[in-house]
Chain A
């Protein structure tokens, strides 16, 4: 098990501050979804949690230790990251791509072992890609390709999984496919999942914990039913909407009105 938390983190690009003394602790063993309008800092937060950005002040704690003081390879054995829009190298096969996930577990003198092979096979099986393992990644559909990238992070075998907009550019069927895969990984393997999503209704369906970010700070956090209220959505997104309860799944369902139809 592993926890990741941000403590008073400020970070930005060049001179522009994006996160402003933000503190958040992501619950262990749950699916957390970061939501917020464009430019609010949710992707920046995810990158900072994954130690891709160094905070100007404050720190990110991985299991209680400052992440920037840990060796980067040791971090990679506990925390996996799927960046936004990853692009596979030309001509690489699914198996080769998934095998890259074993890199943090290898050392210079101790290279490919049986355990690496087993982890790759398991990752392929979990993501339903065993039959496609020798195919070129560039011949796969968008949804399959995203599953291959997730398989890479599964092979990395970390208790923590961070994903930056894993469903963008996918049609609804493939978005569901990816989110169901992540839910399975969370339920069956106890992985802590933290991701950025844009679709509020899918976030409400799949998240255990929602973190709403506004102007570089945590505006509200909690279970989807607590966070998704018409007032909050208006505060965070500046969007007029009505929230009803999904008749099939009993999760909050957001019906956007926009400026033309004030709620």
Chain B
């Protein structure tokens, strides 16, 4: 199957997933009504109102967050040349969680907008701290490895701080717990518009770097020999990862496994060329998160399982299956 057809099928799958996300929920809505609610809404039709005010926003958020996390994961894996790297390794999730816990402890219940802003700032500050610790004493050829180690250490530290605060402030725990699990519902798109703009800008910001990323994937020495300014490229890529996953965690909380597993799926389906591979990751990531959200809201009705729990439930077995297939391919 040619690459063009595969990409087309990925787009088609995403559209089907998005449409089903408009239809599925506590109340089933047919595809015709769902589409009508989007294109030519009638003001008094309740079904159409549900589509527009509740299901469309969460679908759009799931799409943007899934795509962002997947692309951020792919960038991390290229940057560190480690297939097990994910955006969380930069301390982004731990930093965002700590910021939210701090906000709740300090200001009680804040508005969603304040939470999101706090989470984004926490993620960005944590990543900057990790970068500073890793690159102290000058950039070296072990940069990516140091980055991962510094990220792991500081993540553990932030998580410990968060836990300590939550033990002291039991009420805060209840407020934060749902956010911790990751969710794409109950958020108004207007409040999240700035974060979406950040994610979109970062996604587009990858485009001019894709050819240089292809060269970097062949190793740091090789890339420098081929005239790439490696340290500048790495810094830019870290910046993009922070913007993408920082915006994601601020919009939807901690959603794991998407950034780890989607690049592996994309590598099996698409050629190892970032000009195709990254858009493929975005499509697959968006689809995976929408599907996880649809399943999460249908299996335990009338209750909903948070999408972050669903990605882990779907992602972990998929990842183990991928590892096994990889082992048999090499053995």
Residues of A within 8 A of B (CB): 47, 50-52, 71-77, 79-83, 86-93, 96-97, 100-101, 103-104, 106, 108, 111, 152, 156
Asked whether B267 is an interface residue with its Cβ less than 8 Å from the other chain, the reply is: yes
The answer to whether A86 touches B227, judged by C-beta atoms less than 8 angstroms apart, is no
B323 CB → nearest A CB, Å: 14
The interface stretch among B4-12, B165-173, B187-195, B210-218 is B210-218
Asked whether B272 is an interface residue with its Cβ less than 8 Å from the other chain, the reply is: yes
Residue B273 contacts which of A47, A51, A82, A96 (CB distance < 8 angstroms)? Answer: A96
The answer to whether B219 touches A101, judged by C-beta atoms less than 8 angstroms apart, is no
Residue B224 contacts which of A52, A71, A90, A156 (CB distance < 8 angstroms)? Answer: A52
A215 CB → nearest B CB, Å: 24
Asked whether B175 is an interface residue with its Cβ less than 8 Å from the other chain, the reply is: no
The answer to whether A103 touches B226, judged by C-beta atoms less than 8 angstroms apart, is yes
Asked whether B229 is an interface residue with its Cβ less than 8 Å from the other chain, the reply is: yes
The answer to whether B222 touches A86, judged by C-beta atoms less than 8 angstroms apart, is yes
The answer to whether A52 touches B221, judged by C-beta atoms less than 8 angstroms apart, is yes
Q: A50-B225, A87-B81, A111-B211 are in contact. List 14 more A-B contacts (CB 8 A).
A: A72-B224, A76-B225, A76-B227, A77-B227, A79-B225, A82-B225, A83-B225, A86-B221, A90-B83, A93-B272, A101-B226, A103-B212, A103-B226, A108-B208
Asked whether B135 is an interface residue with its Cβ less than 8 Å from the other chain, the reply is: no
Interface size bucket, B side? 20 to 34
Q: Please, how many angstroms separate the alpha-carbon atoms of A91 and B3 in the complex? A: 14
B141 CB → nearest A CB, Å: 9
User: Which residues of chain B (180-217) have a CB below 8 Å from chain A?
Assistant: 208, 211-212, 214-215, 217
A46 CB → nearest B CB, Å: 11
Q: Please, how many angstroms separate the alpha-carbon atoms of A111 and B210 in the complex? A: 12
* Smallest Cβ-Cβ distance to B270: which chain A residue: A91
Contact partners of A89 in chain B: CB under 8 A: 214, 217-218, 272
* Smallest Cβ-Cβ distance to B138: which chain A residue: A14
The answer to whether A83 touches B222, judged by C-beta atoms less than 8 angstroms apart, is yes
B233 CB → nearest A CB, Å: 12
Given A86-B222, A87-B219, A97-B218, A92 contacting B227 (CB threshold 8 A): no
The answer to whether B228 touches A103, judged by C-beta atoms less than 8 angstroms apart, is yes
Residue A83 contacts which of B215, B221, B227, B272 (CB distance < 8 angstroms)? Answer: B221
Q: Please, how many angstroms separate the alpha-carbon atoms of A87 and B273 in the complex? A: 16
Closest 10 CB pairs of A and B: A76-B227, A81-B225, A73-B227, A83-B221, A89-B217, A91-B272, A92-B272, A104-B227, A72-B227, A103-B226
